[in-house]
Copies of this chain bind each other. A is one copy, B any other.
Amino acid sequence: MTRPAAASADTGSLVDRVLARDRTAVARAISLIERGDAGAGELLRGLRRNLGRAHRIGITGPPGVGKSSLVSALGAMIVGQGKSIGVLAIDPSSQFTHGAVLGDRVRMAELDRAGEIFIRSMATRGQSGGLGPRTDAAADVLDAAGYEWLFIESVGVGQVELDIRNLVDTTLVALVPESGDQVQAIKAGLMEIADVYVVNKCDRPGAGAMVAAVQSSVALQHHPDPAWLPRVMGAAVINNEGIAEILTELERHRQHLSTAGRLLQGRRLGMTARLRKRMEQQLAARLRDGGAGPELEPAVDRILAGEESLEQVSERCLSEWMEKLTGGTPRGSKT
């Protein structure tokens, strides 16, 4: 109600310029979002009804498998076909890999004669791996701006790869023919989430065995969409080998999604998972603020003294907190 008219006018003009795919405006919009600027909410409200046209693709996998090189190679091919591409590279520790990634970005920018590529690295740290509300909002900016292909590339470890599936239409997992990475990928649950698998660096020894191992895993898995059997593609991005085939496979998946209402169904599932997770996070924050602070100290000491189990104490403290919320007197309270 007391929103400054000038800021609103600014944001309104920014919305229009983003929708017209003005690169400077797109960059400024993402910066607003990254900074958590007050105008970000209004901006996103302005873009909200122009979403859902981009084919959102998540690219993930262990560190060092060549994800950003793969995105660069795919981007070059997409631009060559006269299409536009937006890239969000989410790197939880970009300060360490910045050199290598920057090289790929520069090569990719050189290809962008027609201004049809927009690349943004979002440096974040912490356990969420950066796939939080800001990644989401930045992807919405690129979607609203009309980039036809939207790549979200995430280096994360563990849970991050699993979360990316909920943000995108198609998930690509990249691996390399090295047993360490394979074991790690399997541990991270990567073998259960992808629509397309790419074994990169297939010029190296062991590539055939790795492709076969991934194929066996895929055959055993229960893909969330029973009508889709993920393929395992070999590639050597450094020699530009296998890129056209990967792009075709991504298009084939998009084609698959466009039938029988699968695209909407997939987006519903992903959004439900994200909504549930967001509710859990907000609930945990409320708990931390009001029921899991210093008041836990006596309970912790009872557990350490062997008087009660962690499980018992947790149940009781939670019930007390919830009863406090309802305004009642907590059961078992001794005060």
Contact = CB atoms under 8 A, between A and B. Distances in A.
Interface of A: 41, 44-45, 48-52, 62-64, 92-93, 96-97, 126-127, 129, 133, 136, 155-160, 162, 180, 183-184, 186-189, 264, 267-268, 271-272, 274-276, 278-280, 282-284, 287-288, 291-292, 296-297, 299-301, 303-304, 306-307, 309-311, 313-315, 317-318, 321-322, 325-327
Nearest to A271: B300
B96 A183 contact: yes
A277 to B, nearest CB: 9
Contacts of A136: 310
A309 B271 contact: no
Contacts of A268: 297, 300-301, 304
Contacts of A63: 180, 183-184, 187
Nearest to A278: B314
Chain A interface helix/strand/loop/mixed = helix
Contact of A92 (B187, B287, B300, B315): B187
Given A92-B187, A96-B183, A275-B299, A310 B158 contact: no
B292 A279 contact: yes
23 contacts: A48-B306, A48-B307, A62-B184, A63-B183, A96-B186, A127-B159, A127-B162, A129-B158, A133-B311, A157-B188, A158-B158, A158-B160, A268-B297, A268-B301, A271-B303, A272-B296, A275-B299, A278-B310, A279-B317, A280-B292, A282-B314, A325-B326, A326-B327
Nearest to A65: B180
A284 B283 contact: yes
* Oligomer: number of copies: 2
Contact of A180 (B64, B158, B288, B310): B64
B282 A318 contact: yes
A313 to B, nearest CB: 6
Contacts of A284: 280, 283-284
Contacts of A280: 280, 283-284, 287, 292
A274 B133 CA distance: 26
B296 A275 contact: yes
B314 A275 contact: yes
A13 to B, nearest CB: 20
Contacts of A189: 126-127
Contacts of A272: 296-297, 300
Contact of A306 (B49, B267, B282, B314): B49
